């Protein structure tokens, strides 16, 4: 039987997922809170550009305020699967919002950049939560228009049950999401999510704070040294909390042995190879749009977890401070911010 699927949050990631699932013939509704984006998709569909190709996909889309229309169409909660793709700071209220629409045996998949399942599971129930680590790079700056940096071959999802078991529903979600990119099923999803957090805390956030290109990251020894220091801190905190880093996105187990600079450089190079040159990170995009970043859920989360585990995180603390100053307009992104960060 066909599943009723919703993509909650249709920024760059959610729009890409929603368009691909719709094109694959799934019964999908897109839900978002940005009125102009919703109206553009209603009128013209989702226009996605990928490496000089362009696809326009008509989609079924609701504004949050229109969700009662979906409820009136059904005598029971209508949704089998929800892909949650909102900013981490919107996670809890969005999970509460969608909970009444999710079937008792339905599942929610967090396609987000932090350890969001930690606070999603208590809201919807652990039995309805499937975790995901992913690499899909995309950008939205105009309503209805998505610039996707990773094509289908370069898009990767790692899916897993919170308890590490392999279940029929996990395989079903993996099959459905296969329309968007490559799929791995993991028995160590928390380790996979922590591995992605390692990259985000040393790659995505650093590029945003320093307004640095991929080339600068790789060729400036001070910047690369900072990235490795941040990656090491995140890995050490995860290890102290009992997480085992999981090779992701085509990397091998031997690539994750030890905490040498080489390990972190391999992860950076792998992600850069997937997203391609010119791709802007989600934190860079937030700064360009003048809105809050997810720094509190990335390096800020490492600082918080580090305190719990009694692991010092001076580099993460410094970078969190710098990005908060940028959010408040007290600093501008740029290499001059290196003076405020530990590079050795």
Could you read off the pLDDT of 75-111 as tens digits, one per residue? 557 899 999 999 999 999 999 999 999 999 999 999 9
For the segment 61-70, the average pLDDT, to the nearest whole number, is 85
pLDDT the model gives residue 76: 59
Residues of the chain with CATH 3.40.50.720: 4-187
Contact 180, 152 (CB under 8 A): yes
pLDDT the model gives residue 101: 93
Is pLDDT of 1 > 80?
no
pLDDT digit string, tens, across residues 27-52: 999 999 999 999 999 999 999 999 88
Q: Phi, psi at residue 171, to the nearest 5°?
A: -65, -35
Residues of the chain with CATH 1.10.1040.10: 191-340
- Please provide the CATH number assigned to the domain covering 191-340: 1.10.1040.10
DSSP state of 2: P
pLDDT the model gives residue 263: 79
- Give SS3 for 26: coil
pLDDT digit string, tens, across residues 229-240: 999 999 999 999
For the segment 274-279, the average pLDDT, to the nearest whole number, is 79
Q: Which residue has the higher pLDDT, 106 or 253?
A: 106
For the segment 285-300, the average pLDDT, to the nearest whole number, is 96
Residue 211 CB neighbour total at 10 angstroms: 17
- Contacts of 151 by beta carbon, 8 Å cutoff, 6+ apart: 50, 51
- Mean pLDDT, all residues of the chain: 93
pTM of the full structure:
0.94
Sign of the Cα torsion 282, 233, 258, 189 reads negative
pLDDT digit string, tens, across residues 3-29: 999 999 999 999 999 999 999 999 999
- Please provide the CATH number assigned to the domain covering 4-187: 3.40.50.720
pLDDT the model gives residue 75: 53
DSSP state of 280: P
Rounded distance, CA 312 to CA 233, Å? Answer: 8
């Amino acid at each position: 039987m066909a599943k009723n699927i919703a993509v909650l949050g249709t920024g760059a990631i959610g729009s890409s997922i929603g368009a691909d699932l719709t094109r694959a013939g799934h019964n999908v509704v897109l839900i978002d809170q940005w009125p102009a984006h919703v109206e553009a998709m209603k009128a013209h569909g989702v226009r996605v550009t990928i490496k000089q190709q362009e696809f326009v996909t008509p989609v079924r889309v609701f504004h949050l305020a229109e969700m009662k229309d979906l409820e009136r169409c059904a005598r029971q909660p209508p949704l089998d699967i929800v892909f949650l793709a909102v900013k981490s700071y919107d996670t809890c209220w969005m999970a509460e919002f969608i909970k009444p629409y999710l079937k008792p045996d339905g599942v929610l998949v967090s396609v987000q950049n932090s350890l969001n399942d930690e606070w999603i599971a208590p809201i919807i129930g652990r039995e309805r939560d499937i975790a995901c680590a992913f690499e899909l790079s995309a950008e939205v700056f105009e309503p209805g228009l998505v610039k996707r940096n990773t094509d289908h071959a370069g898009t990767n999802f790692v899916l897993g049950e919170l308890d590490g078991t392999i279940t029929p529903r996990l395989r079903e979600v993996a099959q459905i999401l296969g329309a968007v990119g490559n799929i791995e099923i993991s028995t160590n999803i928390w380790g996979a999510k922590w591995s992605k957090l390692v990259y985000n805390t040393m790659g995505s956030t650093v590029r945003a704070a320093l307004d640095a290109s991929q080339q600068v990251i790789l060729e400036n020894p001070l910047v690369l040294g900072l990235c490795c220091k941040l990656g090491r801190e995140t890995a050490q905190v995860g290890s102290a909390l009992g997480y085992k880093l999981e090779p992701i996105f085509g990397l091998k187990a031997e690539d994750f042995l030890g905490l040498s600079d080489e390990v972190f450089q391999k992860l950076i190079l792998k992600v850069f190879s997937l997203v391609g040159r010119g791709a802007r990170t989600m934190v860079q995009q937030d700064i360009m749009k003048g809105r809050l970043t997810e720094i509190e859920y990335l390096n800020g989360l490492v600082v918080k977890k580090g305190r719990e585990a009694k692991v010092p995180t001076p580099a993460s603390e410094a970078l969190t401070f710098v990005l908060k100053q940028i959010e408040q307009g007290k600093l501008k992104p740029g290499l001059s911010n290196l003076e405020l960060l530990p590079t050795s």
